[in-house]
Amino acid sequence: MSENGVAVVIEDDDDVRNLVDAVLKEAGFEVYSASNGREGVEMVRQQQAAVITLDVGLPDIDGYEVLRRIRQFSDAYVVMLTARNEEPETLTAFHTGADDFVTKPFLPRELRARINAMMRRPRHAVPLAATGGSVPPPAGVAQSSIFQGRFESSAQGSSAAGTEEAVIKHNGLVLNYKSRVVLLNGKHLILTRSEFDLLLDIVRAGGEVRTRADLVRAARGEHYRDDSYISDADERAVETHIGNLRRKLREDPQSPRWLQTIRGVGYRLAPKRPDLE
């Protein structure tokens, strides 16, 4: 197997498929290709892909349905490709579970850079389910072993950044950033990779405001790069991920327990509430 593992290209256009295949091979992947959605889903399943590029407009089932099916068993990094540069397309891609979204035609070096950025992010410790919600912890792993250690996050600015302990607790939420496991009121919460990264960044900040640009960098794994280009589409993607997080956390917008909006700026961790611990 190649150094970065397996990549699957799901694309019906021969020219685009060959181009993406070449980009991924140069990036160090063992590459498999499929020309329709059903074949692509099975190829991802059989090859245990680490990265997937997925065309939206496939001949049998559209890319969004393909991604929904893939997310039932895989947490692979997914870049969706489309010829249409419209905001609803982007939002649908992120709502469905995509990690990134690229408009055709694209430069090979742009696709390579986006894939490299995704690969810098840690992978999930457990597979994704078909939808958000509560599922048991990974088989054979007791909660007591997952959640050893304690770290109390607070609105006064406490942060996990300078501690060796892996666990952060706040208002009934327990987050282990080493195993990438989240418990909400004792139940395992299914998050996408980007949702986890954004939640971790906000919780670690301990009440400090995180701008949308900060969160874009967190999702890319570029926390310390102030020179990286951030587009309006990148910031809208963050807003979409935050909206998905709130839905899965069942946040009350009038009285948030975790994600507090600072209008025109970004987000911060809501104050600690003793009644929720």
User: What CA–CA distance (Å, rounded) separates 40 from 70?
Assistant: 9
- DSSP 8-state code for residue 226: S
Q: What's domain 6-119's superfamily in CATH?
A: Response regulator (3.40.50.2300)
- DSSP secondary structure letters along 154-181: -TT---STT-S--EEEETTEEEETTTTE
Q: What's residue 128's pLDDT?
A: 42
Check: CB of residue 236 under 8 Å from CB of residue 87. Answer: yes
The count of other CB atoms within 10 Å of the CB of residue 131 is 11
Q: Please tell me the chain's helix, strand, coil percentages from 3-state DSSP, rounded to the nearest 5.
A: 35, 20, 45
User: What CA–CA distance (Å, rounded) separates 120 from 67?
Assistant: 22
Check: CB of residue 20 under 8 Å from CB of residue 45. Answer: no
Q: What's residue 1's pLDDT?
A: 56
pLDDT tens-digit profile, the chain (277 residues): 567 789 999 999 999 999 999 999 998 999 999 999 999 999 999 999 999 999 998 999 999 999 999 998 998 999 999 877 666 767 777 777 888 888 888 888 889 988 888 777 655 443 344 334 333 333 333 333 333 333 333 333 333 334 346 889 999 899 998 888 899 988 888 888 888 889 999 999 988 999 998 898 888 776 655 666 777 777 888 888 898 899 999 998 888 999 999 988 999 999 988 777 6
Q: Where in the sequence of the chain do the CATH 3.40.50.2300 domains occur?
A: 6-119
Helix (H) or strand (E) holding 117: helix 108-119
- DSSP 8-state code for residue 17: H
User: What CA–CA distance (Å, rounded) separates 229 from 144?
Assistant: 42
Fold held by 134-276: Arc Repressor Mutant, subunit A (1.10.10)
Q: What's residue 198's pLDDT?
A: 92
> In 3-state terms, what secondary structure has residue 236?
helix
Provide the terminal-to-terminal Cα distance of the chain, rounded to the nearest Å: 46
Q: What's residue 185's pLDDT?
A: 85
Give the list of residues 6+ apart from residue 86 with CB closer than 8 angstroms, or none: none
* Best CA proximity match to 95, nearest among 135, 65, 139, 125: 65
Q: What's residue 274's pLDDT?
A: 77
CA distances from residue 24 to 14, 29, 30, 55, 118 in whole angstroms, order as listed: 15, 6, 8, 15, 13
Q: What's residue 125's pLDDT?
A: 41
Q: Where in the sequence of the chain do the CATH 1.10.10.10 domains occur?
A: 134-276
CA distances from residue 118 to 216, 221, 241, 266, 274 in whole angstroms, order as listed: 12, 8, 15, 22, 37
Q: Which residue has the tokens 């469905």?
A: 96
Give the list of residues 6+ apart from residue 139 with CB closer than 8 angstroms, or none: none
Q: Fill in the amino acid letter for 228.
A: S
Check: CB of residue 262 under 8 Å from CB of residue 269. Answer: no
Q: How far is CA 7 from the centre of its chain?
A: 17
Q: What's residue 162's pLDDT?
A: 40
Q: What's residue 132's pLDDT?
A: 40
Q: What's residue 7's pLDDT?
A: 96
